[in-house]
């Protein structure tokens, strides 16, 4: 791989911190920061320099509702290993419990794992459940999800230490079932999270996510 | 008279002459505490973050009390809507709580770490939410402006920060304007171009040249 000139790398770091580096270039650079502490340090130096511009703004007091909501979101003490996913996992657990009880009233066996995707305003969008045998995924759109024309929403397993593995396309409404192949099952078994990305209609042409990762949900194993 | 505090009239005279008076420091400090407008020193923000990493909830609440008005100002400026900005603020603080143990004082200041979490969240939201882009800039009267901010400098207190203030002033006006707009507004190249009504190509090169000049100035 061609080595960047230090000046060029620093300019990329500056534009990342400034926010003008966008789209694929931004995501690629973010991945590089994760891999390379040197790159991360360049970004940190710029974040430091620019921070003054942020801190110079006149403060605005948030409404009390923000703190109340925040308290609710960090409310449940969680194990350290789950810290990053604390809020999501707590939410998923509560929804999951309700669903589990409901599911228990129905003849089919309970799923061995499930995940619920929610948007930024915490509206639940999709529930993904893996059947007891680990062979089929049931995907339910919990509300009609708006997807732009000529785009699809694609579901990915995020196995620990591996690349995302496509599990199929998400329905905008209603429910679908996906039969999993060997690779997909293995990826799910090694994953703590699933994600939904923005892709061209019909899904990623490359087998890897090409668009933004829109949602991430923790997998809850029952 | 020596040994006595100056009276109100003397204070006014000293102030008018631009001279510090003996009680000035204490008065300023009291004033800050009463109004709570002072930016908390970075060492204190770092201490609270370290406590959050140990799951200390009261420390988290204190951190929130001290830093949230500043993060909200950034977010309002970027998202141009109180509802969106407060949602982003909430998400940012959830992330701060969850990742407090990842903050590394060697990487940079605690303030910059928290500001980055909020800003990157807002940049993400701006890309996704078409609502943000259709909101005309001037229509939101709540968008905070800059204020006289010696305490912003004092709170950050790092060499990199102090140098920036001077080096920004030294930039060509167009370069400075583009960089400040992009940073504070969370704008892309194209959005900066739209905002100041200049061609995209010019904006890109002003930003690039401005950043290069900043770097040169900061390293000199």
Considering the domain B27-135 in this protein, what is its CATH number? 1.10.1740.10
Residue A30 belongs to domain spanning: 6-55
Q: Same structural domain for residues A33 and A138? A: no
The better pLDDT of the pair B127, B98 is held by: B98
Question: What is the rounded CA–CA span in Å between residue A167 and residue B38?
Answer: 51
Question: What is the rounded CA–CA span in Å between residue A116 and residue A119?
Answer: 10
Please identify among residues 105-134 of chain A the ones whose CB lies closer than 8 Å to any CB of chain B: 120-121
CATH 1.10.10.10 is right for the domain spanning B158-220: yes
The predicted model gives B18-24 an average pLDDT of 38
Name the least confident of A100-114, B98-112, B117-131, B163-177.
Answer: A100-114
Please identify among residues 37-96 of chain B the ones whose CB lies closer than 8 Å to any CB of chain A: 37, 39, 55, 57, 60-61, 64, 68-70, 72-74, 76-77, 82, 86-87, 89-91, 93-94
- C-alpha distances (whole Å) from B199 to each of B76, B196, B205, B209 are 27, 9, 10, 16
* CB of A53 less than 8 A from some CB of B: yes
Domain boundaries, chain B: 27-135, 158-220
In a domain, A24, yes or no: yes
Does residue B103 surpass a pLDDT of 90? yes
Residue B42: its H or E element = helix B42-53
- Closest Cα in chain B, distance from residue A181 (Å): 32
Domain count, chain A: 2
Is A70 in Cβ contact with B57 (below 8 Å)? no
- Closest Cα in chain A, distance from residue B4 (Å): 36
Mean pLDDT of chain B: 79
DSSP per residue over B79-139, as a string?
A: H--HHHHHHHHHHHHHHHHHHGGG--TTTS-HHHHHHHHHHHHHHHHHHH-HHHHHS-GGG
CB A25 within 8 A of CB B218: no
ipTM of the complex: 0.80
Does residue B3 surpass a pLDDT of 60? no
Q: Which one of B85, B116, B169 would you mutate to disrupt binding with A, by most A Cβ within 10 Å of its Cβ? A: B116
What per-residue confidence (pLDDT) applies to A110? 74
Q: Count CB pairs under 8 A between chains A and B.
A: 173
CB B33 within 8 A of CB A21: no
The predicted model gives A108-119 an average pLDDT of 80
Does residue A92 surpass a pLDDT of 90? no
Question: What is the rounded CA–CA span in Å between residue A42 and residue A29?
Answer: 12
- Closest Cα in chain B, distance from residue A205 (Å): 22
């Amino acid at each position: 791989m061609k080595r960047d000139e230090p000046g060029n790398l620093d300019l990329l770091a500056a534009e990342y911190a400034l926010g003008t580096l966008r789209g694929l270039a931004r995501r690629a650079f973010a991945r590089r920061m994760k891999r390379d502490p040197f790159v991360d340090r360049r970004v940190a130096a710029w974040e430091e320099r620019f921070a003054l511009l942020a801190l110079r703004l006149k403060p605005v007091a948030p409404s009390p509702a923000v703190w109340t909501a925040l308290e609710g979101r960090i409310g449940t003490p969680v194990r350290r290993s789950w810290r990053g996913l604390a809020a999501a996992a707590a939410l998923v657990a509560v929804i999951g419990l309700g669903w589990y009880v409901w599911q228990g009233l129905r003849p089919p066996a309970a799923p061995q794992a499930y995940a619920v995707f929610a948007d930024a305003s915490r509206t639940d969008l999709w529930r993904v459940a893996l059947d007891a045998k680990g062979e089929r995924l049931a995907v339910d759109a919990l509300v009609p999800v708006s997807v732009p024309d000529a785009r699809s929403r694609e579901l990915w397993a995020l196995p620990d230490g591996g690349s995302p593995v496509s599990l199929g396309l998400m329905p905008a409404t209603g429910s679908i079932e996906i039969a999993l192949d060997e690779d997909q099952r293995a990826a799910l078994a090694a994953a703590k999270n699933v994600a939904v990305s923005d892709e061209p209609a019909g899904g990623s042409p490359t087998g890897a996510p090409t668009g933004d990762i829109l949602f991430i949900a923790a997998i809850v194993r029952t | 008279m020596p040994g006595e505090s100056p009276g109100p009239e003397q204070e006014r005279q000293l102030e008018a002459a631009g001279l510090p008076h003996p009680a000035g420091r204490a008065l300023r400090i009291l004033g800050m505490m009463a109004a709570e407008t002072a930016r908390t020193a970075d060492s204190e923000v770092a201490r609270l973050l370290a406590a959050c990493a140990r799951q200390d909830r009261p420390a988290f609440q204190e951190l929130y009390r001290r830093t949230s008005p500043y993060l909200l100002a950034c977010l309002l400026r970027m998202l141009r809507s109180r509802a969106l900005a407060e949602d982003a603020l909430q998400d940012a603080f959830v992330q701060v709580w969850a990742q407090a143990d990842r903050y590394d004082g060697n990487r940079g200041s605690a303030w910059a770490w928290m500001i980055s979490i909020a800003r990157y969240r807002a940049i993400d939201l701006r890309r996704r939410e078409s609502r943000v882009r259709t909101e005309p800039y001037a229509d939101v009267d709540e968008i905070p402006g800059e204020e006289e901010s010696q305490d912003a400098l004092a709170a950050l207190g790092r060499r990199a920060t102090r140098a920036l203030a001077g080096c920004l002033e030294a930039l060509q006006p167009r370069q400075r304007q583009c960089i400040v707009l992009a940073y504070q507004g969370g704008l892309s190249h194209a959005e900066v171009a739209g905002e100041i009504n200049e061609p995209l190509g010019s904006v890109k090169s002003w930003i690039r040249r401005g950043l290069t000049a900043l770097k040169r100035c900061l390293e000199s």
